[in-house]
Amino acid sequence: LGGVNTAGYDFSVSTDGSFSGTGIDPPVSQYTHFSIQGVNLYRIPWQLMTPTLGGPIDEPFFARYNATVQAALVSSANAYVIADVHNYARWNGGIIGQGGPTNDQFINFWSQVAAKYAKNDRIIFGIMNEPHDMNSVPDWVDTVQAAVNAIRAAGAVSQYILMPGCSWSGAQALPTEAGPLLVNVTDPAGGTSKLLFDVHKYLDSDGSGTQADCVTNNIDVLTTLVEFLQSNGNRQAILSETGGGSTASCETNLNQELAYVKANSDTLIGFAIWAAGSFDTSYILSVTPKSDGTDQSLWSQAGK
């Protein structure tokens, strides 16, 4: 799987889980644009689905979100969509299952979303974007298990589920932090082949994905991750966020990173570049197509 994040519905969310707004719909024309080039993975984040904790889905918002999901799915016969809740394991500063929203409130939300997509095998459920600064890693793993159980109980029994660790889903942290506990999460549908690890890794100097230049190809980090996954039952992961600026250093380093991912596709089964969607072309990591329909240089070179 190879593709792109199409951001927009997550706009205005802060890393403490607070938000002020309803997001911006990603341009659906982008899905055809990218799918023609061979893209088969779209990650579509959002930050607001149940405005009241433990309450019902906001149906007008879901209608907007689902229209975008369907545009991505119909853009290619083999396109997958990662439905990604982008709240950093928080709600207005409180950590899910650790003094903030309860696990019951969290799984109520996931039960509703999973029921909406229970019959669509090309939806991948991204449990949570970038949990960070958790009070307890074991408690977070318990929350992940509760979400997996809720998704399956809602009738979504065949879809892939992405399990994030802590430390901003950092690929470098998973083998020694949450990974040794997440490998014990069970799937009520049977086996573990549909439970994938969700990792992120940028290429700039501090790994934040906020700078135009790249200083690493991340192969050392990804090699350690692959070794961990293979030694724990040949498990698999998706690199659901990576990327850089349209600079020569990023074109070189991202190319090398993605070549490694492709060479190890039995373990690292996909990647998604950050980001297109509602980002304009001035965003430092933008891969949004230009107004004349041509691509950013980073995207043109990615994976070549």
The mean per-residue pLDDT over the stretch 64-74 comes to 98
The amino acid at 213 = D
Contact by Cβ (8 Å): 209, 174: no
Can you give the residue ranges of every domain in the chain? 3-303
Q: Rounded to an integer, what distance in angstroms lies between the CA atom of residue 185 and that of residue 195?
A: 8
For 4-24, how does the pLDDT look when each residue is reduced to its tens digit (9 = 90+)?
A: 999 999 999 999 999 988 899
Known catalytic residues are 130, 241
Q: What is the CATH class of 3-303?
A: alpha beta
Which strand (E) or helix (H) includes residue 182?
A: helix 179-182
pLDDT for residue 51 is more than 90: no
The amino acid at 299 = W
Query: How does the average pLDDT of the chain come out, rounded?
Result: 96
Residue 301's pLDDT is what?
83
The mean per-residue pLDDT over the stretch 130-143 comes to 98
Identify the CA nearest to 270 among candidates 261, 279, 283, 278.
Answer: 261
Query: What percentage of the chain exceeds 90 in pLDDT?
Result: 95
pLDDT for residue 71 is more than 70: yes
Residue 304's pLDDT is what?
58
pTM exceeds 0.95 for this model: yes
